[in-house]
Amino acid sequence: LEFSDMSKVYPNLDRSMVERTTKWLLSRRDGKGGFKRDSKALDSFGAASPEVTNAYIAYALSEAGGHDLAPELAALRPVATGGKDPYVVALATLTLINSKAAGAADGARHLMSLAGSTGNFPGADHSITRSGGLSLEVETTAFATMALMKAADTGVLTRGDVEAPVRAAIDWLNKSRSGLGGFGATQGTVLAIKAMNQYEEFARRTDAAGTIELRIN
């Protein structure tokens, strides 16, 4: 996922390294929609639940593109359309959208139903990095926002379907920024920035009114 992102701005990325990494991840598939894990993993990444780990890896592979993820999509479809954890639901929905798979629209609609009253997406148990507190809520809200914008941009849903919850989520993320420019832990900060960058492009194609405030010095 990191190197797929990097390739968008760095043309000399070693593609063979990306292919080796992807091939290894694909070799760890268990044939049931999940991925085999090493029980001796010692860091916090290894402590994430199978549900979170499987969803995150499938999402990463779908972002890289060009892979047949049929078993993983079959496993994630009921999660996207009926899951209770918004972090996992957002990852599952993004994977379905990236893969142009059935269930993407239902997943996006279900994801919207998990939004809180202030625009955030609360209630996740943990993230791939075992985040908690504000950072977990930021990560979850960022992923959910990116999923809803991508749903509109790809025609899975209409812009009118998602504009209100997306705007509310972006407002919530803005209010969650610390005085030092971060959004909790590193993972939350990176995802919040990604969501806001995506929103800048998304908002440019809307008729909604807005205000720009410029502060100098």
Residue with tokens 């916090």: 44
CA distance 28 to 41: 15
Residues 146-173: tens digit of each pLDDT: 999 999 999 999 999 999 999 999 999 9
| Packed helices 159-175 and 133-153: angle between N→C axes, nearest 10 degrees | 150
CA 58 vs. chain centroid, Å, equals 11
The residues pairing with 29 across neighbouring beta strands, listed in sequence order, are 35
Instruction: Output the pLDDT for position 207.
Output: 63
CA distance 149 to 105: 12
Rounded to two decimals, the pTM is 0.90
Residues 75-134: tens digit of each pLDDT: 999 999 999 999 999 999 999 999 999 999 999 999 999 999 999 999 999 999 888 899
Element (H, E) at 190: helix 186-204
